[in-house]
Amino acid sequence: MATQRTFSIIKPDAVKKGVLGQIADRFEQNGLKIVAMKMIQMSQAQAEEFYAEHKERPFFGELVDFMTSGPCVVQVLEGENAILKNRELMGATNPNNADAGTIRHDFCLPVEDLSANAVHGSDGEEAAAREISFFFNSDELVTRV
């Protein structure tokens, strides 16, 4: 498997809890290099466009409100099989179903709100490319050896 890049968000709940460093550490300890990283306050328009695929879902409004409720950290992660590796580190969407040792199990229990599940990660190559360019210009991505 070739080196891949994937897009990650440390969501507002995790930033608020003060665990962004611990989450970034999970990536670094598991072979994912951070090649771009910034803290942002997402606008409503950005959140609506980013999650446009969920526009018709009942939780869309709640998800947009949550993602704009406080700062989050957007990142590009690079490594072997990075897309799947990141999804494995994240755990299941609902933290109640996430395996012990995953980010969502370790940082989101007990669950109050399914929007507040600590992290987002691209679910495929097409999504990764789209999501990276949604938040980063090419000159914001570095080369790391």
Residue 80: CA atoms inside 13 Å, Cβ hemisphere, count? 3
Marked catalytic residue, from 120, 131, 135, 136: 120
Subset of residues 57 to 116 that bind ligand ADP, contact rule: CB under 6 A: 59, 63, 93, 114-115
Q: Is 43 in the site for ligand ADP (CB under 6 A)?
A: no
Q: Where are the alpha helices (DSSP H) in the chain?
A: 12-17, 20-29, 44-50, 60-67, 82-90, 103-108, 125-135
Shortest distance, CB of residue 117 to ligand ADP, whole angstroms? Answer: 5
Question: In this structure, how many other beta carbons lie within 10 angstroms of the beta carbon of residue 46?
Answer: 16
The tokens for 68 are 């704009």
Q: Is 117 in the site for ligand ADP (CB under 6 A)?
A: yes
Shortest distance, CB of residue 79 to ligand ADP, whole angstroms? Answer: 19
Let me know if 120 is a catalytic residue: yes
Q: Is 8 in the site for ligand ADP (CB under 6 A)?
A: no
Report yes or no: 4 and 128 within 8 Å, Cβ to Cβ: yes
In DSSP terms, 3 is beta-bridged to 80
Q: Which is nearer to ligand ADP, 3 or 93 (CB)?
A: 93
* Residues carrying an active site annotation: 120
Binding site for ligand ADP (CB under 6 A): 59, 63, 93, 114-115, 117, 120, 123
